[in-house]
Structure 1
Amino acid sequence: MSENSAAHLVSSLFAAFSNGDRETAERLIAPDFHFTSPFDNGIDRASYFAICWPNSGSIAAFDLEHILEAGGKVAVTYVARTQDGRCFRNTEVMTCRNGQIAAVEVYFGWSVPHQVPPGCHVTER
């Protein structure tokens, strides 16, 4: 992965988040940044740092499983490991522009290990 690629930029943000390195995150996130998740609908940069950044203290590491880059967008699926030993899987789509991350869309995933037995639906547990 080239150091100038959007995928490298995204990987750098995940590293900054898990290390609590706000200075690096501030440099990587564009001034007109917007963040969307099931809990946030296009919040701005200031709101992201006020609401979401404090969660960096609970993350021990991200294991980036898939990174797909196309046309200034990066889709990444990861397993996050928390400080208390829990794990969860998410996918994010990030828009990169001019060497910064301009937007993030987060799609929440399931717990790891999965709470539902293989081949079953949640109501079949």
Structure 2
Amino acid sequence: MAGASRADTIRRIFAAYLSNDRTFVEDAFSDEFRFTSPFDDNIDKATYFARCWQNSDWIERHELERVVVDGDAAFVTYRCVARGGKSFRNTEFFVFGGDKVKRIDVYFGATYQDGKFVRQPG
């Protein structure tokens, strides 16, 4: 799969979250899919959908700032704008196996409410 196609797959996954198209996302992930975030350690595909898939009605939009593909890997930095003025910026590292997403590691960024930094507990 060419880099442009992988970038397109990533953009389509983000669009599918907003439209609650779980079927597209499930099909885009390999059966061996793994997910890691500050809240999740190397969870499998079934656990990801049970724990992480939510109704996206709270999201107003994703602003994909960078999609950088290098072979079987890609970094995506985006700003997520929630309804009600909250926003945050994350970076995700995608690993592809063939034409499927094999792994995503998420790195959380700062959170803002109405343009002002919100300190996170902990």
Give TM class, smaller chain: 0.7 to 0.9
Structure 1 pair 55–40 and aligned structure 2 pair: CA distance change class (3 A) = farther
Aligned to 2:48: 48
If the length of structure 1 is used for normalisation, what is the TM-score?
0.83
Aligned to 1:69: 69
State the 1:64 CA deviation: 0.2
Q: Secondary structure at the match of 2:10?
A: helix
Q: Which shifted more, 14-23 or 49-58?
A: 49-58
Tell me how large the CA RMSD over aligned residues is: 2.0
Aligned to 2:79: 79
Question: Once superposed, which parts of structure 1, at least 4 consecutive aligned residues long, lie more than 6 Å away?
Answer: none
Structure 1 pair 19–83 and aligned structure 2 pair: CA distance change class (3 A) = farther
Letter of the 2:106 partner, please give it: V
Aligned to 1:15: 15
Aligned residues: 116
Q: Determine if contact 1:3/1:9 at 8 Å carries over to the other structure.
A: no
CA distance in 2, matches of 1:61, 1:11: 12
> Structure 2: which 5+ runs fail to align?
none
Structure 1 pair 56–48 and aligned structure 2 pair: CA distance change class (3 A) = farther
Letter of the 1:59 partner, please give it: I
Q: Which shifted more, 55-64 or 17-26?
A: 55-64
CA distance in 2, matches of 1:72, 1:14: 18
State the 1:47 CA deviation: 0.5
Give identity over the alignment, percent: 37
State the 1:21 CA deviation: 0.7
- Say which structure is richer in strand: 2
Higher alpha-carbon Rg? 1
Structure 1 pair 105–114 and aligned structure 2 pair: CA distance change class (3 A) = farther
CA distance in 1, matches of 2:3, 2:70: 16
Letter of the 1:30 partner, please give it: S
Aligned to 2:117: 115
Letter of the 2:91 partner, please give it: T
Cα offsets for 1:58-89 (capped at 9, x unmatched)? 32321000111002111010001123331110
Aligned to 1:39: 39
If the length of structure 2 is used for normalisation, what is the TM-score?
0.85
Letter of the 2:11 partner, please give it: S
